Chain A
Amino acid sequence: MPVTSSTKPVPVQTSPVTASPRTSLTNTIRVRLRVPARLRNLELVLLLIACGIVAFAIVLVQLGALGHVDSTIVTISAGLAVLVLAMHLVMRVVAPQADPLILPIITLLNGIGIAEIYRIDIAFGASGWNSAGIRQIVWTGMAIIIAIAVLILIRNHRVLQRYRYIAMFTGVVLLLLPMLPGIGRTINGARVWIGIGPFSFQPGELAKVALAIFFAGYLVTARDSLSMVGRKVLGMRFPRARDLGPILVVFAASMIVLIFQRDLGTSLLYFGLFLVMLYVATGRASWIVLGLGLFAIGAYIVYKALPYVAGRVHTWLDAFSNVNYNATGGSYQIVQGIFGLAHGGILGTGLGLGAPQKTPLANSDFIFSSIGEELGLIGIFAVLALYLLFVSRGLRIGFTGQDDFGRLLGVGLAFVIALQVFIVIGGVTRVIPLTGLTTPFLAAGGSSLVANWIIAALLLRLSDAVRSAPPVVMPQ
């Protein structure tokens, strides 16, 4: 499929680049100084606003739950603000034309998450390294540093396309790592953790980055053979076995995750990501139909075969019955979360004034209902709107990107966030059965933070490429 970018106007700032070679250098410098400065200045203003909102939220949490202001947490959080500003400064040099909204959005989401996690710490009287809030701040710091490293190291995203099979291998290994005896750990019924000493990590979170890179790289090269070559059966063209191989490997890996690691959410996430990227690359709606059909059959078999999946479905459909409410692993948690949301109502109880700690896992799986309780429907709409905006910035790369690998990767990364938000929040609000995934940027958990900041860094890198690259037609 030829890429013509016909629907989007040519970016304004690219016109000097196409001028004569002699003037192009000075023009490039001028462009670098002028236009990017505007983008980065916008980003700086938004960042400062985001940091201000977060600081305000932490102070409100303290006033609400403690009754006084404690400067320790505010000071430590200020360290994060410094790191975020450092990332902003790095971008002025290495990604000057990157999207100005992404960093402020994730700063705000991450910060609101920290405030709410800290609020739940206060309710439980946790302090020091036992407090999830402190750990979250440290993890956030590490995640930002890793994101900066990604921005500095990966100056041209097309490099990633070269490593697609390494990415696939990494992704599958990461997914299966928790099944290794010795380092694999089962937490809350799901074997998706690895632990070394006191240190535990959910490698599956990082796998989604690796797999998105693999899908994008693989599909860009293989899509023609996938959609053009192959036998036609019942009016639908099926790909050749050698083209299908890598897909089957990934599909098998996600099925293993579902069955052996008992992690419904992760397998749903990868399957959805895979399906959407396949569709975007090949444009074959019939594949979506086929994929969804396979998924429905698989889901039904799993529903019949695995009692924990059936249990999840029953607690979803009839959460409020006393039988499910009182059952071990039943609907107690989700019902408590919904009580929390109802307690907040439209306007919320106010930060520090609700009772989110009454819901089990209030700071991780149920951070959304904790925020909904204290900030109300208004706060929840704001959070959802931030996610939507973030995702739309990613999809925008798909529309405006210059190379198909970048476009596909941008769409994949944006969609994986959207799907994860849908699976988690949909589970908490009973749109779909509850599964154990983290809410991106908000929930307590280091692995998720690192993975999502890497996704953000990659999207920033891609968006920078969109604006700085000349509008050429890539021969793919």
Chain B
Amino acid sequence: MNRQLRRVGTIVLLMFVALFCSSTIIQVFSVDQLNKDPRNVRTLDDSYSAQRGSILDADGNVLAKSTPSNDEFKYQRVYTNPELYADVTGYFTFNQANPGIEGALNDYLSGSANDQFLSNLSTIFTGKTVQGASVELTIDPKVQQAAWDALGNNTGAVVAIDPKTGAILAMVSKPSYDPNTLSVHSTSKFFAAYNALLKSPSKPLTNRATAGDLYHPGSVFKLVVASAALDSGKATADTAFQNPAALQLPLSNSFIHNSTGQPCGPGATATVATAIRLSCNIPIAQLGASIGEGTISEYASRFGFGKPFALADGNFDVTPSIYPTGQDAPHLMLSAFGQSDDRVTPLQIALDSAAIANGGVEMQPTLIKKIIEPDLSELKNLNPKVYGRPISAATAAAVRDMMISSVAAGAASNARIVGVQVAGKTGTAQNGVHDPYTLWFTGFAPANDPQVVVAVVVENGGGRGQDAVGNQIAAPIGKAVIEAVLNK
């Protein structure tokens, strides 16, 4: 009987080994995956009742913090200066999707990221509750405030980036909202506030800088076309095109005009440089037709069109901008000066300028400076990363010079700052026959050693319908933001 008993003993042992293994697989190796499962209510509860880390600006000022509350969730999220930073911080809810940094860095803020395992381990022995890590942003409070003030009552967005590092210095979208009204513990209260904001026609919940309804870029897209033309070698700054006051589109009865309704400067022909300086549509339309849709599309893609940028450690996605393909000849010409079906985010426009400002090297945009443990040690320091090299240094310099002259002696004159060489480009995009214009400015300064790149968009023609252009409304806003950086 002993032989059988030994075999039965082996079977019993194997059954238990199977249980030891299955438990270990679940509790050790699959833990991350299981805790990330959206159906896992336990993770949600934990992240809500942990003492969440703070969100800080680049100077260490607290933008969002968790303060003790007397209900089951133990902590209440509080936003200081809520509207100014709403589109950056987002809000924090119990069981709804959290936008902004609150959602993008939830793992770190709630203390459940893998990097925090060791410090969480110690809480088991010390008996303290888990504390989340704090997140220090790249947002400069002075620049953010300047952008907010300069935008005034306009509907629109401002993005300011350090072209050398990709650090986002300011990100403002107006109108804004108060995240405190959404970071409530009661689901019904949340929905009351959320639905009210959702129904508002001015769409305050939309982050217009990164994820709004995409805008027609208008003339700011000419920077991409000029870069493509020069960098591909298919044109130079001095390549000249016919200079009529109106140009009939091929296969069409429509005519296109320059914004002035006049030819692009004196002379029978106008160069690429002149067209950028004076923001003329007709020569750029011809330039676009001559280099072809494939070239424009390729360079747009190199700048980042069609790709989602993640602004916060792999999260906080930006809606990809669009350059259309498969267009017929008239639409190709329209698309060259930012009409047709071109659609962009202000962030993409800022990145185009940032690449030009930084000698053709485009840095990965980021909102995160560092992530700090509760004991103040640095968990993660995000070093600048190169996103790509869309154009050569020579191309970048040539386009930069066109932008300098556009501010100094061209269409972007309202961005001039005394004693500082500013490079810039305005845009006035048409939306429909009678719809108000979308006004743009993008630029950087000082032109020879750029400290800041800015992109400004103002919807609804700044309240003036079709009567205002980018230089009148958007350029002064850009100038104010640049000054805020340079005057620090």
By a beta-carbon cutoff of 8 Å, the part of chain A in contact with chain B is: 1, 3, 7, 276, 279-281, 283, 320, 325, 335, 338-347, 350, 354-355, 358, 372, 376-377, 380-381, 384, 387-388, 391-392, 395, 398-399, 404, 407, 411, 414-415, 418-419, 421-422, 425-426, 429-431
Contact = CB atoms under 8 A, between A and B. Distances in A.
A377 B8 contact: no
A335 B39 contact: yes
A344 B42 CA distance: 10
B24 A339 contact: no
A377 B28 CA distance: 8
B18 interface: yes
Interface in B17-43: 18-20, 22-24, 26-28, 30-31, 34-35, 37, 39-43
Interface of B: 1-5, 7-9, 11-13, 15-16, 18-20, 22-24, 26-28, 30-31, 34-35, 37, 39-43, 45-46, 121, 124
Contacts of B11: 276
A376 B121 CA distance: 13
A430 B22 contact: yes
A345 B19 contact: no
Contacts of A407: 1
A395 B22 CA distance: 24
B188 to A, nearest CB: 22
Contact of B2 (A7, A343, A422): A7
B129 to A, nearest CB: 10
Nearest 8 Cβ contacts at the A-B interface? A342-B34, A429-B22, A377-B27, A422-B15, A280-B4, A343-B42, A418-B12, A339-B40
Contact of B12 (A346, A391, A404): A391
A1 B18 contact: no
B457 to A, nearest CB: 40
B28 A355 contact: no
Contacts of B1: 1, 3, 280-281, 283, 398, 404, 407
Given A380-B23, A387-B16, A431-B22, 9 more contacts: A320-B37, A339-B34, A347-B121, A355-B41, A398-B5, A399-B2, A407-B1, A418-B16, A425-B23
Contacts of B16: 384, 387-388, 418, 421-422
7 contacts: A276-B11, A325-B39, A342-B30, A342-B34, A381-B20, A387-B16, A419-B15
A350 B125 CA distance: 11
A126 to B, nearest CB: 19
Nearest to A412: B8
Report whether over half of chain A's contact residues are helix, strand or loop; otherwise say mixed.
Answer: helix
B19 A338 contact: no
Nearest to A347: B124
B27 A341 contact: yes
A342 B19 contact: no
B5 A345 contact: no
A384 to B, nearest CB: 6
Contact of B42 (A276, A340, A414): A340
Contacts of A395: 5, 8-9, 12
Contacts of A384: 16, 19-20, 23
Contact of B19 (A335, A404, A425): A425
Nearest to A376: B27
A429 B16 CA distance: 12
Contacts of B19: 384, 421-422, 425-426, 429, 431
A346 B28 contact: yes
Nearest to A378: B27
Nearest to B43: A343
Contact of A342 (B3, B13, B18, B31): B31
Given A426-B19, A429-B22, A346 B4 contact: no
Contacts of A426: 15, 18-19, 22
A381 B16 CA distance: 10
A377 B46 CA distance: 19
B95 to A, nearest CB: 14
A316 to B, nearest CB: 12
A431 B7 CA distance: 21
A342 B45 contact: no
Contacts of A7: 2
Nearest to B15: A422
Contacts of B42: 339-340, 343, 354-355, 358
Contacts of B8: 276, 279-280, 395, 398, 411, 415
Which of B1, B24, B45 has the most chain A CB atoms closer than 10 A to its own CB? Answer: B1
Nearest to A424: B19
Given A7-B2, A325-B39, A339-B37, A429 B12 contact: no
Contacts of B15: 418-419, 421-422, 426
Contacts of B20: 381, 384
A431 B121 CA distance: 29
A441 to B, nearest CB: 16
B13 to A, nearest CB: 8
Given A325-B39, A343-B35, A387-B16, A411 B26 contact: no
A419 B3 CA distance: 20
A411 B9 CA distance: 9
A380 B19 CA distance: 10
A395 to B, nearest CB: 5
B21 to A, nearest CB: 8
B124 to A, nearest CB: 6
A422 B21 CA distance: 12
A3 B23 CA distance: 40
Contacts of A391: 12
B18 A280 contact: no
Contacts of A430: 22, 26
B34 A283 contact: no
A341 B23 contact: yes
A345 B22 contact: no
Nearest to B14: A422
B26 A338 contact: yes
B291 to A, nearest CB: 49
B26 A283 contact: no
Contacts of A399: 2, 5
Nearest to B26: A341
Nearest to A276: B8
B37 to A, nearest CB: 7
Given A418-B12, A422-B18, A372 B4 contact: no
Contacts of A280: 1, 4-5, 8
Contacts of B5: 280, 395, 398-399, 411
B278 to A, nearest CB: 58
Contacts of B30: 342
B120 to A, nearest CB: 10
Contacts of A355: 41-42, 45
Contacts of B27: 341-342, 344-346, 372, 376-377, 380
A176 B136 CA distance: 68
Contacts of A283: 1, 3-4
Nearest to A8: B2
Nearest to B11: A276
Contacts of A325: 39
Contacts of A388: 12-13, 16
B43 to A, nearest CB: 8
A281 B15 CA distance: 21
Contacts of A425: 19, 23
B12 A279 contact: no
A345 B12 contact: no
